[in-house]
Structure 1
Amino acid sequence: MIDELVNLIKQYETIIIHRHVRPDPDALGSQGGLACLIRDNFPGKAIYLVGEESESLRFLIQMDQIDDAVYKDALVIVCDTANRERISDDRYESGAHLIKIDHHPIVDSYGKPEWVNTQSSSTSEMIASIYRSHPELTMTQDAARLLFAGIVGDTGRFQFSNVTSETFLAASELVKLPFDRQSFFNQLYQRSLKQARLNGYVLEHFSLTDEGVGFVKLSQDLIHSYELNASDASALVNCFSNVEHLKAWVLFSEEDQVIRARVRSKGPSINELAAKYNGGGHPMASGATVKSWEEADQLIADLRKLCK
């Protein structure tokens, strides 16, 4: 699969890389890391990154603005996105050839090849394996920093159950490159004073049920009262994750027309539950969308049944 991917990259002069909406470190790390890896080894090619910007993660990498005409005869690669409706920038089908690289369970089959490895901790780990399996390729510290960011983000600093020996091997290769890890960690986990205040509200007001389900509901008015947006609020999903007796938890953050649900678990698999509520993801970390606070209560009730 890797050889097929590398051969396709060699064939195209223009390559456009997408990832999912509302990007996390793995989405940006795999997208940007792949772009750097291609640029480092094929300097004559035109490489573009597309998708909406993430203000909190702009320190990792920024996106390109390109015209529709650039897609003509281009190779399009989508990273870290299980289903087509979550791909950021719907022009992904406008190219000459489409490839998918992902580590989520397949819920929507697209791309050729469709390289999916659910045993991988992250899509960034998969991109790192391209470098590790092709010794003729070189890697710069920019590529290493981005791929390391993706692995760290999706493993919770190597704490989650998706970490394997391959994850540590990939990370060990990346940290051989002299990027500033301390600066990276400082930026990744930095919180604004406004977010710190909201973090205090979440800790004060989250609920914990007898079944071990934690949840907190953040209305749009509440979020705006802290001069923040729903994305800022969602970043706090793990702020009460270390409370004893907690098995699974969800943070709801309301935006204009919908309520985003960030669901996490230490035991029961939650990705099928997330799929029921217009979402999906990993067995231990998923996202969902509900249309009302009443539907949010239904999600909580279903999560309580899972934990019971």
Structure 2
Amino acid sequence: MKKKIDETIKARGLAMKKEYSKVLSAIKKFDHIVVFRHIMPDYDALGTQLGLATWIKDNFPHKNVKVVGDNHVTFTPRIFPVMDTLNDEWFTTPFLAIVVDVSGKTRIADPRWKKAKKKILIDHHPESDITKNVLRDIDYAAASEFVVNMILNFKGDFVLSKEAAEYFYIGVVGDSGRFQYSSTTPHTFAVAKELLDTGISLSEVYQKMYQKSLDDLYVTAYVLGNFKVSPHGVAYYILDEKVQKDLKITTERGKENVNIFANIVGINAWCSITEDKKDNCWRVSIRSKGKPINGVAQMFEGGGHAQASGAKLKTLADLNRLIAELDKLFE
């Protein structure tokens, strides 16, 4: 017998009843399924991708389910398994592409999603250039929260395993800022309860997510010794290529210390600015205590959520303009 789900989860699912039914029908129809997500993945991208792939495997064991994309420099394989490596021939068989946590086509980690017989996007970002077969709801704190709502509302006797639940929980914790961002709602906690009910260990999950090495401590020390604060409380630090080499970190890891300013009185927004020699740009991660900063991120080839966004600077000369735009929010 299917477990009775929380009324909050049930109510949120009613609005997407038809869309959820179509997703389930597609999963049942295709024997080959690939779950995609965005490049330079975070906890939510990987948690949603692997949680959904695991759920499909658990409930449809005869299906060939794969996950693709770039591996994370520190999360893999410590938290998440290595992505599948597929040659182009694999994609000649008709397959279903489920794309999660992606705001635009250029952000999808593997371009071969385009070869899919059917494509479905499940996302919680406010903007996107993908318009067909899209399930979008910006009121979810995390894509993982969205997907858990979907599978719990599926019609049928399905299981949510401890393994799948742990992936989803990591995604929810990551994108909700450990349940501290304003996007966190009673529904977020209802989903967290359903996931915890599978038997996952909170202490083990948090240890995996937030354990640090001695080298990590040196990076934190550098950030604390070199950050700057604007007149209206925008804190930021810069990691150029030389500093990254000296600290023995990759470009992808540049933003890992951005939330060190989250609970500091007088700091209203905070950013990491990391040089990316490969793409000849500076990658920016922006966070905010209250006011939405995604509008500013959009001015600089980026976007995202109200309190957590990303942007890109062509040169470091654009930094002053970025900080000035953020400053305006807090005048």
Q: C-alpha distance in 2, partners of 1:7/1:293?
A: 49
Q: What is the SS of the residue equivalent to 1:239?
A: helix
Partner of 2:144: 124
Q: C-alpha distance in 2, partners of 1:226/1:288?
A: 23
Partner of 2:324: 301
Q: Are residues 1:223 and 2:207 paired?
A: no
Q: C-alpha distance in 1, partners of 2:206/2:275?
A: 28
- What is the letter of the counterpart of residue 153 of structure 2? S
Partner of 1:280: 303
Partner of 2:6: none
1:184-213 Cα shifts (integer Å, max 9, x gaps) = 211111222222111111112211222111
Alignment check: 8 A CA contact 1:213 1:247 kept = yes
Alignment check: 8 A CA contact 1:203 1:240 kept = no
Partner of 2:25: 7
Match of 1:290 among 283, 297, 313: 313
Aligned length: 307
Deviation at 1:172, TM superposition (A): 0.2
Alignment check: 8 A CA contact 1:76 1:92 kept = yes
Deviation at 1:93, TM superposition (A): 0.4
1:89-121 Cα shifts (integer Å, max 9, x gaps) = 111101101110000013312441x00010111
> What's the TM-score once normalised by structure 1's chain length?
0.96
1:158-196 Cα shifts (integer Å, max 9, x gaps) = 111111111111010000112233222111112222221
Alignment check: 8 A CA contact 2:262 2:289 kept = no
- What is the letter of the counterpart of residue 182 of structure 1? S
> What's the TM-score once normalised by structure 2's chain length?
0.90
Deviation at 1:304, TM superposition (A): 1.1
Deviation at 1:230, TM superposition (A): 1.7
Q: C-alpha distance in 2, partners of 1:271/1:68?
A: 36
Deviation at 1:131, TM superposition (A): 2.8
Q: C-alpha distance in 1, partners of 2:274/2:44?
A: 21
Q: What is the SS of the residue equivalent to 2:264?
A: coil
Partner of 2:88: 68
Q: Are residues 1:178 and 2:178 paired?
A: no
Q: What is the SS of the residue equivalent to 1:251?
A: strand
Q: C-alpha distance in 2, partners of 1:19/1:173?
A: 24
Deviation at 1:69, TM superposition (A): 2.3
Q: Which moved more, 1:290-299 or 1:31-40?
A: 290-299
Superposition map of 1:32-51 within 5 A? 32-51=50-69
Match of 1:265 among 277, 288, 292: 288
Q: What is the SS of the residue equivalent to 2:287?
A: strand
Deviation at 1:233, TM superposition (A): 2.1
Q: Where does structure 1 differ by over 6 angstroms across 4 or more consecutive aligned residues?
A: none
Q: C-alpha distance in 1, partners of 2:75/2:20?
A: 28
Q: What is the SS of the residue equivalent to 2:147?
A: helix
- What is the letter of the counterpart of residue 147 of structure 2? I
- What is the letter of the counterpart of residue 194 of structure 1? D
Q: What is the SS of the residue equivalent to 1:173?
A: helix
Match of 1:52 among 53, 64, 70: 70
Deviation at 1:255, TM superposition (A): 2.1
- What is the letter of the counterpart of residue 80 of structure 1? D
Alignment check: 8 A CA contact 1:194 1:228 kept = no
Deviation at 1:268, TM superposition (A): 2.1
Alignment check: 8 A CA contact 2:97 2:113 kept = yes
Deviation at 1:4, TM superposition (A): 1.2
Alignment check: 8 A CA contact 1:212 1:246 kept = yes
Superposition map of 1:34-183 within 5 A? 34-58=52-76, 59-71=79-91, 72-112=93-133, 114-134=134-154, 136-183=157-204
Deviation at 1:249, TM superposition (A): 1.3
Match of 1:244 among 260, 265, 275: 265
Q: C-alpha distance in 1, partners of 2:74/2:308?
A: 20
1:29-64 Cα shifts (integer Å, max 9, x gaps) = 110000011111111100000001002111223210
Q: Which moved more, 1:74-83 or 1:211-220?
A: 211-220
Alignment check: 8 A CA contact 1:195 1:232 kept = no
Q: C-alpha distance in 1, partners of 2:231/2:216?
A: 29
Sequence identity, in percent? 33
- What is the letter of the counterpart of residue 265 of structure 1? S
- What is the letter of the counterpart of residue 73 of structure 2? E
